[in-house]
Amino acid sequence: MRKKIVAGNWKMNLTLAEGEQLVNDILAAGINLPEDQAVVIAPPFPYVQKVKQLTRNYPGIFVAAQNCASEKSGAYTGEVSAAMLASVGIDYVILGHSERREYFSETNAQLAKKIDQVLANGLKPIFCCGEPLEVRQAETQNAYVAKQLEESLYHLDAEALKNVVIAYEPIWAIGTGLTASAQQAQDMHAFIRAQIAAKYGREAALGLSILYGGSAKPSNAAELFACPDVDGGLIGGASLVAADFTAIIKSL
Ligand code: PGA
């Protein structure tokens, strides 16, 4: 059965000392994760090793990077490869976050290459998709998300797809305080699962974890996670506050 996952995306926030404090506070909250649940913490690159070290004795808690290079290695100043992340024990990589797409012009084709790098190095991509406000207003969000899936994921075979996690993040809900309603989230998640079923079969679709992201917080997490096709969340702002993040984890 698919895993339920709460992932915390710190984005470009916190010093190392603040990050350590946050992780220690989360661990001190005594989260007991059943077999089918996982927590993923995605700090900035310089802290990934430290967070891995702090969490290594906690089964069910994993560490993610927030991005990686689309190339394997070489003269790409400032880039971090999937192989480097694998070599320091990282488990997941967030790819295609809307901030990467918008501010760093990441395209679906480039993300397909990043997905390949991540999978080739034994890591799991958390692939973000989701539509901007004008697309939602035009009610064309399904076609928009279908294209993101097609252009970045559909070159994979069914075996590779088993290692992919999808995060649906409507851009109009990220950091805005506007959450998609549970119904809007469920509708899109069911649509994504149906698309995957059409391409890879029912079993692959049923095994796929699809997370919701966009102003998820303790007050709305339980309702979102209760939706049959919402398998957890990718949490930004609320992942920076230990009490909020742990409350969201407990909503699983
Ligand atoms: P938010 O961010 O929870 O602060 O809206 C979510 C995300 O960008 O992953």
Q: How many CB atoms lie within 10 A of CB 97?
A: 26
Residue pair 215/178 in contact by the 8 Å Cβ criterion: yes
Statement: residue 12 has pLDDT above 90: yes
CATH number of 4-250: 3.20.20.70
Ligand 1 centre from 214 Cα, in Å?
5
In the prediction, which pLDDT does 171 show? 94
Query: Which ligand 1 atom is nearest residue 234's CA?
Result: 9
pTM above 0.95, yes or no: yes
List, for residues 84-99, the tens digit of each pLDDT value.
Answer: 999 999 999 999 999 9
Ligand 1 centre from 173 Cα, in Å?
8
C-alpha–C-alpha distance, residues 28 and 245, integer Å: 12
Band (pLDDT 50/70/90 cuts) for residue 151 is very high
Q: Ligand 1 in contact with 8 (CB < 6 A)? A: no
